Structure 1
Amino acid sequence: MAEDAAVVEEGFSPAAQSPLVAVTFQRNVYRKEKYLEAEPKALGITQIGLSMFKMISCAVFLAKGLSVVSSDITFFISSLLVVVAGSVAIAAETLHLPTLRACFGMQIVACGASIVNIVCTLVKMEQMPIYCWEYYYHNTTPNYEEICHQIEKIHSHFFAGGVLVQTALLAISVTLAVYCCKVVNCCAPAPKVPVITVQAPPAPQ
């Protein structure tokens, strides 16, 4: 009787110690598939598309002499990092663990790059075009002042839209980074799920 009591005290329950029922804790083999819930392909393509749009827009401004090269170099580099992060996010759909870890790292970098781009876009928005007003007093075109005001409004609206785009890219990077973190378990050990195994009783002889 004493030995039977010891068995009950050490186990979780009498049923857990029964030879017909076994309770074990195992890692979830489908844990990596949680990354697919973030729709990484769609978000990765969005990252690439929006970043390429901003890079092309910036290149057009540079080609027309409407921007400063020194301030655009940082913007180009940051946008390129976001493009790379989007590509890695798409590649991580294979659920290969090293690729998922690379995706997590690149999304963290993309978060920083998006913040840098937000700051750069805000700075550009404050730099109103002065080329129009340089010729204001030497131009006899009717309504020339109104034209300059319209150019300023377009400039302000364009870069305000750029801030929204960079904010969306930041949100996408944070979302993918969170899902990658859950999969690669960089912040906490992998959770274990209880597995109950029920064995059929032996057939009577």
Structure 2
Amino acid sequence: MADGAAFVEESASPAQSPLVAVTFQRNVQRKQKYLEAEPKALGITQIGLSVFQLICMSVFLAKGLSPMETDIPVFVLSLLVIIAGSVAIAAQNLHVPTLRACLGMQIVSCGASVFNMICTLVNMGHLPSLCWFNYYDNTTHESDGICHKIQDTHSHFYAEGALIHAALLAISVTLAAYCCKVVKCCTPAPKMPVITVHTSPAQQ
């Protein structure tokens, strides 16, 4: 027998139907698969990690320890990741257009995370301006020690940033995969065979 989670697309009248009928029904609970990805937790994680990166990058830019040429695109793309996380949380209402928007934003977020990770790895080799100045000038051991501390902090920050962008990429791929299971544009909606047994009314 069919459960309450499905509806019959085609039905025949009892007078014309055979004793046993096999019909194919769409599973209306298919959209519930999106909730198995824990979109609220993953969306909040996307937003939190991106905001953390934006704050740290702002501090580094303010201190002149990071190149603006690569950090501005990373800033913009990190904002897109924040938007993707917000849409993932909003898609918990299982509204199909919102789920499609979530799929699109997570695909964009995947590309943004890959680009940000590449820029972060490139910035790891960037020498802060203070160290360039010390390299070309006669400096004291004290300023040279400060330069080494800055270099260590700089490399640790960007190594951490690369790990964060890798985590954001994994989250985006996970949410996109679950959205793809729900949205019909990726795969046709599966149908379940349901066997219906028609019983004749009891004769008196």
- Summarize deviations over 1:151-196 as a string: whole Å, max 9, x none: 2222111111100000000000000001101100222211111122
Letter in 2 for 1:126: G
For the pair 1:93 / 2:96, whether they are aligned, the reply is no
Once the two structures are overlaid, the 10-residue window that deviates more, 96-105 or 20-29, is 20-29
Q: Retained in 2: the 8 A contact 1:133–1:148?
A: no
Letter in 1 for 2:151: E
The 5-angstrom pairing of residues 169-188 of structure 1 reads 169-188=168-187
- Output the CA distance in 2 between the equivalents of 1:69 and 1:35: 38
State the shift of 1:99 in Å: 0.3
Q: Retained in 2: the 8 A contact 1:122–1:159?
A: yes
State the shift of 1:128 in Å: 2.3
Q: Retained in 1: the 8 A contact 2:65–2:129?
A: no
- Output the CA distance in 1 between the equivalents of 2:187 and 2:48: 33
Corresponding residue SS for 1:24: strand
For the pair 1:123 / 2:111, whether they are aligned, the reply is no
The 5-angstrom pairing of residues 54-73 of structure 1 reads 54-73=53-72
> 1:107 corresponds to which residue?
106
Q: Superposition RMSD on alpha carbons, in Å? A: 1.9
Letter in 2 for 1:109: V
Corresponding residue SS for 1:196: strand
- Output the CA distance in 2 between the equivalents of 1:190 and 1:148: 60
- Output the CA distance in 1 between the equivalents of 2:118 and 2:108: 16
- Summarize deviations over 1:106-161 as a string: whole Å, max 9, x none: 00000000011001101110102241352365444x55434432322221111111
State the shift of 1:204 in Å: 2.1
Corresponding residue SS for 1:135: helix
Number of equivalences:
188
Corresponding residue SS for 1:19: coil
Letter in 2 for 1:29: V
- Output the CA distance in 2 between the equivalents of 1:151 and 1:73: 21
Structure whose alpha-carbon radius of gyration is higher: 1
Letter in 1 for 2:122: V
- Output the CA distance in 2 between the equivalents of 1:109 and 1:54: 18
Compute the TM-score of the two structures, normalised by the length of structure 2: 0.85
> 2:52 corresponds to which residue?
53
Compute the TM-score of the two structures, normalised by the length of structure 1: 0.85
Q: Retained in 1: the 8 A contact 2:64–2:129?
A: no
Corresponding residue SS for 1:93: helix
State the shift of 1:71 in Å: 1.7
State the shift of 1:22 in Å: 1.9
State the shift of 1:81 in Å: 0.5
**Percent identical residues:** 68
